[in-house]
Amino acid sequence: MSPATDTYNCIAWACGIDNRLLWPNNEDYDWPDDLPQEESIEAFTALFVSIGYEVCDNPDHEEGFEKVAIYADGDEPTHAARQLPSGRWTSKMGYAGADIEHDSIEAVAGTRYGQARVFLRRQHG
């Protein structure tokens, strides 16, 4: 776990970025110009695909792969988490919150973030 900061957000953290904010349609945040400029599950999925992830069926730990989960409340993306090599997950909690480790994707699901809706994976480095 690291200290609370507003330098990066959960989407950036799930991408492995800790020095900028990522979100579409927000002039104070970055978002790739060649991706859909909308708050949609498809746009967030495209972001992770653009950095080498592919959609997969589940969040189960697979040796040699790093996974991410995109959370949504209905169709609106709300959060993302990244799986660590141990199989645990890491999330940045809120705009100015800390990043944490948790045992499962369900640990941060619920009224604040909705449910994990899309899973993606890429081979480790």
Give the start-to-end residue ranges of the domains of the chain: 10-123
Give tens-digit pLDDT for 87-123: 999 999 987 889 999 999 999 998 889 999 999 999 9
Give me the pLDDT at residue 111, please.
Answer: 82
Residue 65 has pLDDT above 90, yes or no: yes
- Confidence band for 33, pLDDT divided at 50, 70 and 90: very high
Alpha-carbon gap, residue 70 to 119, rounded angstroms: 7
Give tens-digit pLDDT for 77-90: 999 999 999 999 99
DSSP category for residue 110: B
CA dihedral 19, 42, 118, 65 (to 10 degrees): -60
Give me the pLDDT at residue 81, please.
Answer: 97
